Copies of this chain bind each other. A is one copy, B any other.
Amino acid sequence: MPMILKFETLTREAFAPFGDVVEAVDSVHHFTINAGNTERYHDLAHLAVDDKGHLIASILRGQPRELPFTIQEMERHPKASQLFMPLSGRAYLVVVAARDAQPAVKDLQAFLCSSNQGVNYAPGVWHHPLLALDKASDFLVVDRAGPGENCDVVQLSEAAIIPVLD
């Protein structure tokens, strides 16, 4: 029997083992600039890159996943962090597993992310590729360019299912 994933609401605390939540909320460090016009929610992600690479900005346009959806593989980027910020005003899903071992289905953790929340995967954190919902959705992505392989992919020995969401 494949495991049915349970999704939890994305919070900074719950996601801390995997990286950062990028959102403008009162609980993060913020201050006023531009003569009172603008509130700056400051330095929300640990952007990391190895010495040989550099950070780049791209836009990823993901087609919506059809639910139920089967999770069969996970990937990780050992040389840099990877930030996804939603641009299309739609919720999306994140499925991650802790950094250390080969991930198994029991290690997966699943988050429902609101349209105002970005995520920044720390280097080496296993995650499923983009899981957009409902319609094609754009994300600003900050990740790495540079020499060397920076994407490990692993097949899960058992599948996990993203159910139709309530």
Contacts and interface: CB of A to CB of B under 8 A. Distances in A.
Interface of A: 22-24, 33-35, 37-45, 47, 54-63, 65, 83, 85-87, 89, 116, 118, 120, 129-130, 138, 140-142, 145
Q: How many copies does the complex hold?
A: 2
B142 A57 contact: yes
Contacts of A141: 40
Nearest to A34: B129
Nearest to A81: B57
A34 B139 CA distance: 14
25 contacts: A23-B59, A34-B62, A34-B129, A35-B129, A37-B65, A38-B129, A38-B130, A40-B141, A42-B56, A42-B58, A43-B56, A43-B57, A43-B58, A44-B59, A45-B56, A47-B54, A55-B142, A57-B120, A57-B142, A85-B85, A85-B140, A86-B87, A87-B116, A89-B89, A142-B142
